Amino acid sequence: MVDLNGQYRKIRWQVNREIKKVIKSSSFINGPSVKEFQNNLQNFLGIRHVIPCANGTDALQVALMSLELNKGDEVITTNFSFASTIEVILLLGLKPVVVDIDPKTFNINPNLIKDKISEKTKAIIPVHLFGQTCKMEEILEIANKHNLFVIEDNAQALGSKYKFSSSEKQMAGTIGDISTTSFFPSKNLGCYGDGGAIMTNSDNLAYKIRGLVNHGMYERYYHDEVGVNSRLDSIQAAILNVKLKCLNKYNNSRQESAKLYNDKFDKIELLETPFVESDLDTHVYHQYTLKVKNGMRDKLAEHLSKNNIPFGIYYPLGFHEQKAYKQEFMSDNDFPVTNQVKNEVISLPMHTELSKRQITYITDTISSFFE
Ligand SMILES: *Cc1c(COP(=O)(O)O)cnc(C)c1O
């Protein structure tokens, strides 16, 4: 699905040099590379504050903690995402209010948010799934009307842009009150271990978040609140400084590969290629996800396995069916779209090192299946 070694070979010299620098300095925690990365990512996104942390799940948890919500307060999010999004809501004693998705983009359907708002609703967490931003204009409108916080889960769409109806574009992760991301190795910007970050334009929230990731400490050894220990280590930051310079190139290469896939798969009736909400730079293809019609998905998956082509099913279930969360849900009838697409989705290899030859092998293998 990814080729991290192939990618490393092209930046080996810089990466090794930066790692050695950290080892030589012995500043393994909060060393200069961390501060440098924070500034680099702030500039890349055009945002006032980036607070690095240990991973994307911590980022979401701390973002929610910074809003000072009360137990039982409601947080609206999507039904179709990686576990972290709902997990942190439950861990903090908040109530997840989960909404079905748009069948084309797999993102939260803003039209369904309105019906779920109550006196207790405090925040919305849209997830920019597979590399494409949610309908942020609609989401912001609802949030403003009801005075809700918006936390963008931007673990899959770093570097993508959202296009407003005015045609103005804004980077994903700079639109809500707070955004979070992950540098898990396979993400669009990945390190060589775990890493994450929290972003905001608010000075107050940034101050609060900096304390929360550091044991609730605002002055050394004075703990003003119950925080967590969540740091990006200096070696990971050093690697990210090298890779951030490549992020636009990496995302362009994903878009090129997606185009080559689309050219072939658009001709196959039983395949639905990824729907792109606006123009190309709005989708950075963290995943290239097809929908397979007529109940053929599992047979196609078998065919891919036989031909040694890796694939992923993201995600096999909505949150409403997961053992850990299902008691939170009143009924399954709220999620007809999730229930349909979970049986149709299949994600193909998508990374920065995909060659034309590999893509041709994959598209030929899939075309022959449908002939
Ligand atoms: C990867 C991911 C996360 C969690 O990131 P970790 O760094 O693995 O904790 C959260 N949300 C989404 C949508 C993700 O894809």
Q: Tens digits of per-residue pLDDT, 158-191?
A: 999 999 999 999 999 999 999 999 999 999 999 9
pLDDT digits 0-9 by tens, 309-333: 999 999 999 999 999 998 888 777 8
Which atom in ligand 1 lies closest to the alpha carbon of residue 57?
9
Query: Which of 187, 214, 244 finishes a domain?
Result: 244
Mean pLDDT for the chain?
96
Across the range 8-25, mean pLDDT stands at: 98
56 CB within 6 A, ligand 1: yes
- Tokens 């400084």: give the residue: 241
| Count of structural domains, the chain | 2
pLDDT digits 0-9 by tens, 192-211: 999 999 999 999 999 999 99
Query: Does pTM top 0.85 for this prediction?
Result: yes
Query: Which of 226, 244, 262 finishes a domain?
Result: 244
Nearest protein Cα to ligand 1, atom 6: 56
Nearest protein Cα to ligand 1, atom 5: 56
CB atoms closer than 10 angstroms to residue 340: 12
If asked whether residues 156 and 228 sit together in one domain, one would say yes
Boundaries of domain holding 334: 247-370
Measured in Å, residue 59 CA sits from the centre of ligand 1 at: 9
If asked whether residues 203 and 97 sit together in one domain, one would say yes
If asked whether residues 77 and 125 sit together in one domain, one would say yes
By CB neighbour count within 10 A (0-12 exposed, 13-18 middle, 19+ buried), where does 159 fall? buried
280 pLDDT band, cuts 50/70/90, is: low
Query: Which of 244, 273, 298 finishes a domain?
Result: 244
153 CB within 6 A, ligand 1: yes
Q: What is the CATH number of the domain that holds 177?
A: 3.40.640.10
pLDDT digits 0-9 by tens, 76-121: 999 999 999 999 999 999 999 999 999 999 999 999 999 999 999 9
Q: Which residues contact 318 (CB under 8 A, 6 or more apart)?
A: 79, 80, 335, 338, 339, 342
